[in-house]
Amino acid sequence: MTDNIQKLRPEDVPPSWNICRNHECPKREECLRYVVAPIVEAARDHGPAVYQSALKNGKCRMFHRLRVIRSAWGFRPLFSNVQHKDYDLLRSEVMYHFGSRSQFFRYNRGDYRLTPEMQEEVLDIFRRHGYDTTNFRFAHYEDTIDFIS
């Protein structure tokens, strides 16, 4: 995990990400908001932040666990595993799951990355139609720091 943080560049941190500088927080070393703060501050003059008032009774309501996830993007291999008769229906359902055609294509191109939980949601669509997804794979995978969930 330390290697992933050391490789992190300021541009890897979403511009809307709330950072935290509360040195009194008992979970600061486990919190992504606190750990990335020095990286962000070295490159930016201003931005969103978590205030100290978020910490009450030793618990912060803005806590975001620092974790590395196996993110994914690209749907082509998934659809290559379906029968022709199911293709249009499954594609429509996956698009609907993301809310719009443009969102679907952003996840397909890799503009956005799917968390492991989101990957399971997509695979569940195929399972509901009777497909065994044991060998289903997305086009690309990458270990990334979880700024999403």
Residues 95-117 pLDDT 10s? 999 999 999 999 999 999 999 99
Q: What is the pTM of this model?
A: 0.79
86, 130 Cβ separation under 8 angstroms: no
- Asked whether residue 4 carries a pLDDT value surpassing 80, the answer given is no
* Structural domain contains residue 78: yes
Tokens 């719009």 locate to 100
On the 0-12 / 13-18 / 19+ scale of CB atoms within 10 A, 37 is buried
**Distance between CA 72 and CA 115 in Å, rounded?**
7
6 pLDDT band, cuts 50/70/90, is: confident
- In the predicted model, what is the mean pLDDT of the chain? 93
Based on the structure, what is the number of domains in the chain? Answer: 2
- Asked whether residue 5 carries a pLDDT value surpassing 80, the answer given is no
28, 70 Cβ separation under 8 angstroms: no
32, 145 Cβ separation under 8 angstroms: yes
* Structural domain contains residue 65: no
For residues 19-35, give the mean pLDDT.
96
Q: What is the pLDDT of residue 8?
A: 86
Query: Of the residues 38, 60, 82, which one is the last residue of a structural domain?
Result: 60
Full domain range(s) for residue 51? 2-60
Query: Of the residues 60, 78, 107, which one is the last residue of a structural domain?
Result: 60
Regarding whether 93 and 37 lie in a shared domain, the answer is: no
**Distance between CA 36 and CA 50 in Å, rounded?**
13
